[in-house]
Amino acid sequence: MATDQEAVRPEVGSLRDPAELMRPERLSALKQTRLSFARLLMEEMVREQWDISVERADVNAEGVGRVVYAVDTPAMRLSFGVFSHNPGGENTDRIIADNWDMWGFLCEGRATPELMDAQFEELPKVREGRATPEILIWTRSNRSSRFFGHVVDALSAGHQPDVEFLAQGGYLMRSSGYYGNGLNGTREFRAMDGDHPVKGPYMAQMLSVYMLRTFSYDLAERMARARNPDAPTIDDDIKRYLGTGNSSGIGIIHYVVNHPQLLNAWLRAREIALARVKTVDPTDGDVERFRALLADARRWFAEDGSDTKKFFLSKDRIAEGLAATDDRLASLRGDDGPLWGRLCEWAERDLEMETQELLHSLLIDVHPAVCEGLVDALTVSERSDLRPAMTVGELRSVVESDYRWALDIDMSAPGARRYFWYRSVESEEPRLGIRGEHDYEEYGLPIDIANQVQQCEADLREWEHDDTVAEFLFAHPEHRNVVERVQTVHDLPYAEIRANPLDADFVPLSYISCLKAIWGIQKAHPKSQGWVRGTFYQGAPLREDIRAGDDSYWLYPTKPERASHWRDR
Residues 117, 141: contact at Cβ < 8 Å? no
Residue 80 CA to residue 68 CA, distance in Å, equals 6
Cβ neighbours of residue 533 under 8 Å, at least 6 residues apart? Answer: 174, 245, 246, 247, 248, 524, 525, 526, 527
Residue 154 CA to residue 418 CA, distance in Å, equals 51
Q: Any idea what the Cα angle at residue 165 is, between residues 163 and 171, rounded to 5°?
A: 80
Give the sign of the dihedral formed by CA 358, CA 522, CA 533, CA 202: negative
Residue 435 CA to residue 521 CA, distance in Å, equals 34
108, 133, 463, 495 from 130: Cα distances, Å: 16, 10, 49, 33
- Confidence bin at 34 (pLDDT 50/70/90): very high
Q: Is the pLDDT of residue 93 over 70?
A: no
Furthest C-alpha separation in the chain: 84
pLDDT digits (tens, 9 = 90+) for 415-462: 999 988 887 766 567 778 888 887 777 778 889 999 999 999 999 999
- Confidence bin at 145 (pLDDT 50/70/90): confident
**Model pLDDT, residue 566:** 40
* Dihedral of the alpha carbons of 26, 29, 32, 33, in degrees to the nearest 10: -50
Q: Residue 503: what residue type?
A: D
* Nearest Cα to Cα of residue 361 among 284, 301, 283: 301
Alpha helices in 389-508 (DSSP H): 392-402, 404-407, 449-460, 469-475, 480-489
- Cβ-count burial of 521 within 10 angstroms (0-12 exposed, 13-18 middle, 19+ buried)? buried
pLDDT digits (tens, 9 = 90+) for 202-227: 999 999 999 999 999 999 999 999 99
Phi, psi (rounded to 5 degrees) for 121: -80, -35
pLDDT digits (tens, 9 = 90+) for 336-384: 889 999 999 999 999 999 999 999 999 999 999 999 999 999 999 999 9
75, 293, 319, 347 from 332: Cα distances, Å: 48, 18, 20, 12
Strands (E), 354-436: 419-423, 430-434
pLDDT digits (tens, 9 = 90+) for 96-139: 556 789 999 999 999 999 999 999 999 887 777 888 889 999 99
CA 30 from chain centre, in angstroms, equals 11
- Confidence bin at 171 (pLDDT 50/70/90): very high
- Confidence bin at 475 (pLDDT 50/70/90): very high
